[in-house]
Amino acid sequence: MKTMSMNAAGAFSDDRADDRAGALKPVVIVVVAAKIAVAGLLMATVNLNSPIQTPLEIAELR
């Protein structure tokens, strides 16, 4: 049975829809945090400079 209730703003809401939205909230938080973490790691790797060896150092390694 579908229940409808009136919220504080005077609008009707579906209780099951509110339950589903509440259940998805932790998933959304984890996905957003993962996206931020991946973006941060990508930015860190782009900004890292690799050491450039001079030809003399390359010759010494051979």
The region, left, alpha or beta by phi > 0 then psi within -120 to 50, assigned to residue 10 is left
- What is the model's pLDDT at position 37? 95
- What is the model's pLDDT at position 17? 73
State how many domains the chain has.
1
- What is the model's pLDDT at position 34? 97
> Can you tell me the distance from the alpha carbon of 16 to that of 19, in angstroms, rounded to the nearest whole number?
5
Main-chain dihedrals φ then ψ at residue 18, nearest 5 degrees: -65, -40
Q: Which residues contact 14 (CB under 8 A, 6 or more apart)?
A: 2, 3, 4
pLDDT digits (tens, 9 = 90+) for 13-62: 667 777 777 888 999 999 999 999 999 998 887 766 666 766 666 666 66
Q: Check if the beta carbon of residue 4 is closer than 8 Å to that of residue 13.
A: yes
Domain hosting 16: range is 4-61
